[in-house]
Amino acid sequence: MKITLIAGARPNFMKIAPIIKEILSTNTEHSSISYRLVHTGQHYDDKLSKVFFEELEIPEPDVNLGAGSGSQAEQTARIMVEFERDLIKNPTDLVVVVGDVNSTMACTIVAKKLNTKVAHVEGGIRSWDMTMPEEINRMATDALADYFFTTSRVANDNLKNTGVSEDRIFFVGNTMIDSLLTNLVKIKRPEVWEKQGLKNENYLVLTLHRPSNVDDLNKFENLVNAIDESAGMPVVFPVHPRTKKNYDQLSIKPRLVVPTDPLSYLEFIYLIKNAKGVITDSGGVQEETTVLGIPCLTLRNNTERPETVTIGTNEMIGEDIEVLKNSLSNLKAGKWKTGEIPELWDGRAAERIVSILKEMN
Ligand code: UD1
């Protein structure tokens, strides 16, 4: 069987790495999958892309479509135009997309219009928040995909409720957690650790990049200010490029918030694993903190990963600054739930995916 794997943006890389590793280590003369890796070029900075390929030992992509940044429509359209050319030249049995970024949706539409089957890894999750570009990407991708590799029973139900038949849904677990568990032995102390004199559980980690939190300067400033005033310990803030443009324009001078360049995967996991808690608006970080048992304060009103709240260590803080301050004081006082690990988030999702793909052969 021939598959084409799509990756475009930072959170895609940890989802494809274990799938490629599993394919390469299980291929035999009698049962094999050949894969072509397409990097759409949605993320192109070394710190958002290259370092992830190196650390996660992902082989060089077969092609980089060089899509780059732009408005939602510009970026999606560029990926579609380039991927259509590539797929016509390199036909395949199945296109495998992961996650919810623009590359996921763009390549799904292209593949289906060329009558190529699509499998969606992390299919079925929903925030029901149509102001998020990712929710639109998830809905469009899932309306078209043929097969779904899911991370939770809630995702299975979401798909069934839209009419997807059970034989197209495979509950396999979470490939992002495969990467996390495999790489725990390799995590690296980042430079900021020595520079700031960090010690286990005496600091927080902050990540923010959603348009709803960082694009409005006033709102962004109020958030950073509230965190700075109530954290009571250093807050390491690896700043995403989208966020940096606005962070540099803020008029406040935080005392405890320490901005850094984006960290590598192994550095970031080191930092969250040893933190007192994490404040974030990312999807993947909610999952990683749940598995590591680290308190997570999510600055959003909803999550497409509800099991991180019902089972894990995550709490939805929403947009109310007072709720954020109260939650931070609970965290500092050691009053936080402990949480458990969601079903099948056991590091073996890629193994299940590849064995199902081989049966489809
Ligand atoms: C994208 C994904 C989001 C994911 C995030 C992780 C979509 C709709 N969003 O958001 O789901 O959580 O990646 O990082 O697909 N930029 C650079 N260098 C790069 C890439 C981007 O400087 O390598 C700048 C661009 O100029 C742009 C901004 O960052 O202004 C945003 O990039 P974009 O790819 O549009 O979306 P993200 O916010 O990264």
Distance CA 231, CA 237 (A): 13
CATH assignment, 2-174+345-360? 3.40.50.2000
Residue type, 91: P
240 is catalytic: no
Question: In whole angstroms, what separates CA 352 from the centre of its chain?
Answer: 20
Q: What is the pLDDT along the chain (361 residues), one digit of tens a residue?
A: 999 999 999 999 999 999 999 999 999 988 899 999 999 999 999 999 999 999 999 999 999 999 999 999 999 999 999 999 999 999 999 999 999 999 999 999 999 999 999 999 999 999 999 999 999 999 999 999 999 999 999 999 999 999 999 999 999 999 999 999 999 999 999 999 999 999 999 999 999 999 999 999 999 999 999 999 999 999 999 999 999 999 999 999 999 999 999 999 999 999 999 999 999 999 999 999 999 999 999 999 999 999 999 999 999 999 999 999 999 999 999 999 999 999 999 999 999 999 999 999 7
Q: Which residues is 117 bridged to in the sheet? A: 94
Judge if 2-174+345-360 and 185-332 fold alike in CATH terms.
Answer: yes
Q: Is the CB of 140 under 6 A from ligand 1?
A: no
pLDDT value for 30: 86
The contacts of residue 282 (CB under 8 Å, 6+ apart) are 11, 207, 209
Closest residue to atom 13 of ligand 1, CA basis: 9
Question: Could you tell which of 47, 242, 305 is best to mutate to test the pocket of ligand 1, judged by most ligand atoms within 8 Å of the CB?
Answer: 242
Distance CA 49, CA 274 (A): 24
How far, in Å, is the centroid of ligand 1 from the Cα of 206?
Answer: 17
Alpha carbon distances (Å) from 241 to 151, 175, 209, 245: 29, 25, 8, 7
Catalytic residue among 39, 43, 209, 240: 209
Q: Is the CB of 45 under 6 A from ligand 1?
A: yes
Q: Is the CB of 244 under 6 A from ligand 1?
A: no
pLDDT value for 31: 85
pLDDT value for 240: 96
**What is the CATH T-level fold of the domain 185-332, as seen in this structure?**
Rossmann fold (3.40.50)
Domain assignments of the chain as residue spans, ordered by start? 2-174+345-360, 185-332
